[in-house]
Structures are given as structure tokens and as C-alpha cells.
Amino acid sequence: MRGEKGQVLLLIVLLSATLLAIAGGIFFESLVQTQVTKIQEESIRALKAAEGLAEQALQQGSGTVVLDSNKLNLPGASGKAEVVSSLSNVFTTPLLAKDEQYTFYFYDYASGNIGPALTPAMKIAPEVDICDSNSFVVELTFVDLSNESFSRDVVGCPDKSIATKTFGTPFTAPASHVVILRVLSESSNFPGTKLVLTRLDVDPATGDYLVWPAQGKTVVSTVRTASGVKKTIRVFQSYPQIPASFFVTKFN
């Protein structure tokens, strides 16, 4: 009888231990899921806060905007958005689809002073070479704002006979304040391309490449929560883009 009671007691102990282990596992998983959900929620709020700071910095136009965590549901969070200078002799456009264009400034648009027309030594090429599968050209419209004149040229893939210049070939631009780049392709499936404009002029004093004038405002915005979640975004707002219809005649 005692043996049977001992076995029953042992079974009860084992069953209790098993139930406790299961309950502990469920509690631990629930705790982990709660923590993950909390981190995900904080991540979303931090991203929205970073985007809001970036928008404020763009509206402000210069300097730094600091996060006011009291106005957000992010106690203890810190962050700032700053308008930064990112001048270089290399500029990459956004992705341009077929027939889309991009306005590139040869002068400091923000100053409002067009100054003398520029004749930069430069080259143009797609960010990723897609000439093998998608031949295309870029029509260049050079605009001289001082005498309201413009000229055109075409740069493109080697197999395009209408291209007067080949991608990556250095050339000297005619006197201009603005160049408008329009992507042209015969294929209706053209995937679009980013264009890289490289300035080849050299500063005689330093031997370094001269940089392009700013093409817009660049803002870097970072927000870090009290728990360590960090979100950083980089936003580029280009200067005004001239509509394609301004220089392109269409017949219906």
C-alpha cells in the first residue's frame, strides 16, 4: 500500500513539475513576445519621429532641429535632424524612367545669383551599365540664362547612332547655367536608370576636382529611444525641376 502511495506521490510531483515547466515556457514566450512587440512599436514611433524632424529641418532650411520628446510618446528619447553639406564632383540623379528628365544646376541656385555661365569638363554615365540589355540615350539641353539661349546634344550607348557622345566619354559642356537630362529609349520595358554626372575640372591650386554646386538640401535625421532603438534617415530634396513639356514639343 505504501509503495502504491509513493508511486502516486511521485507521479503527482512529476506531473506538477511538468505543468510548471509548461507554464514557465508559456510565460517566457509571452514575455518575449511582449518585449518584441514593444520594440517594434518603439521602432515605428522612432521612425516617424525621425521623418518629422527631417521635415522640420527642410522647412527651416539650414541648421539643426532637436527632438522634443515631451511632444511625442517616446519618453527619454533623443534625436536631431541636420541640414548637411554634401558637395562632391560626383552627383547621382534619382531613378529616371523612360521620357523622364532631371534638371541639373551649374550655379548656386540657393543664392539666387546665376552669375556667369559655366563650361565644366564632365562625363555622364548610367549608375549601372544596362546598355547590353536596354539601349537608350540621354538628350542634354544646355540652357544659358544670361542670354536665354539653349543648345542640345545626345549622349548614349555605343550602339546608338544618334548619340554624338558615348556614356563615360569626357566632354566640355557649352556655356550654361542649367542642363536638362531626358532619358529616351525605344523599349517600352525600359527599367529606368540613375545617371552619374562627374565633374572633371581640377583646381589648379590644390589639384583636386572641383565640386558641383548644391542640387538641393540634404537632411540627416536620427532618433534614439531610451531602450536603445535607433532610426536614421537621409532625405534629399532637389531644387525645382523644370517640367518636361517646357522644352519638349508633343503632337497629339
Q: Which three cell numbers stand for residue 100?
A: 523622364
Dihedral, CA of residue 50, residue 56, residue 62 and residue 64, to nearest 10: -50
Spans of the chain below 70 pLDDT: 1-38, 69-73, 244-252
* Cβ proximity of 155 and 180 under 8 Å: no
pLDDT score for 20 = 59
Task: Return the pLDDT at 247.
Answer: 55
Q: What stretches of 121-164 show up as alpha helix (H) in DSSP?
A: none
User: Looking at residue 72, what is its pLDDT?
Assistant: 67
Q: Which residues of 230-252 are buried (b: 16+ CB within 10 A; e: fewer)?
A: ebeeebeeeeeeeeeeeeeeeee
The confidence score (pLDDT) of residue 85 equals: 79
> Which pLDDT does position 230 carry in this prediction?
86
Rg (Cα) of the chain, in Å, rounded? 30
Q: Percent of the chain at pLDDT above 90?
A: 42
Q: How far is CA 252 from CA 139, 146, 157, 243, in A?
A: 21, 33, 29, 18
One-letter identity of residue 88 = S
Do 46 and 223 meet the contact criterion of CB atoms below 8 Å apart?
Answer: yes
pLDDT of amino acid 231: 86
What CA–CA distance (Å, rounded) separates 67 from 180? Answer: 38
Q: Quick one: pLDDT at residue 242?
A: 81
- In angstroms, how far is CA 193 from the centroid of its own chain? 14
